[in-house]
Amino acid sequence: MFRNALEWLENRTGAVSAIHHFLYEDIPDSSGWHQVLGSVALFAFLTQFFTGILLAFNYAPTPGDAYDSLRYIVTQLTAGSLIRGLHHWGASLMIIVVVLHMTQVFLWGAYKKPREATWLVGCVLLLFTLAYGLTGYLLPWDNRAYWGTVVTTQIASQAPLAGPYILRLLGSDGGAIGVVTFARFYAVHVLLLPVLTVLLLAIHLILVRRHGVAPSAGDFKPKKKFYPEQVLKDTVATFLWFAVLVTMAVAVKVPLGRTADPTDTSFIPRPEWYFLFLFQILKLFEGPLEIVGSIVLPTLAVLALFLVPFIDRGKMIRVRQRTGAISLVALGALGWAGLTARAIATTPPSTESENAGLEHIAAWRQIPPENLAAIGYFRKENCGGCHLLGKSGSAPDLTAAPSQKPVDWLIHHFRQPAPGAPPAQLNATQLKTLATFVTRRGDNDIEAWKNAPQPAVDGAMVYDANHCAMCHVLNGSGNNVGPALNGLADRRARDWVKDHFADPAKYSPGSTMPPFKFNPRDLDAITGYLMQIPK
Q: Does the structure show a pLDDT above 90 at 303?
A: yes
The number of residues making up the chain comes to 535
Q: Provide the pLDDT confidence category of residue 174 given band limits of 50, 70 and 90.
A: low
Domain extent listing, the chain: 26-268, 363-530
pLDDT at 22: 84
Q: Does the domain spanning 26-268 belong to CATH 1.10.357.10?
A: no
Q: Is the pLDDT of residue 390 over 90?
A: no
- In degrees rounded to 5, what are phi and psi of residue 225? -85, 150
Alpha-carbon separation of residue 499 from 249, 473, 492, 523 (angstroms):
46, 20, 11, 10
Q: Summarize the confidence of residues 429-447 as an average pLDDT.
A: 91
Q: Is the pLDDT of residue 62 over 80?
A: yes
DSSP calls for 164-221:
HHHHHHTT-TTS---HHHHHHHHHIIIIIHHHHHHHHHHHHHHHHHHH-PPPPTT--S
Residue 359 reports pLDDT greater than 80: no
Beta bridge partners of 224: 27
Q: Averaged over 14-20, what is the pLDDT?
A: 89
The pLDDT score that the predictor gives to residue 399 is 86
Categorise residue 212: left if φ over 0, alpha if ψ from -120 to 50, beta otherwise.
left
- Give the predicted TM-score (pTM) of the model: 0.77
Q: Give, in words, the CATH class of 363-530.
A: mainly alpha
Interval 254-260 mean pLDDT:
88
Q: What is the pLDDT of residue 92?
A: 96
> What's the CA gap between 449 and 437, in Å, rounded?
11
Alpha helices, DSSP H, located in 192-295: 193-211, 231-251, 276-284, 290-291
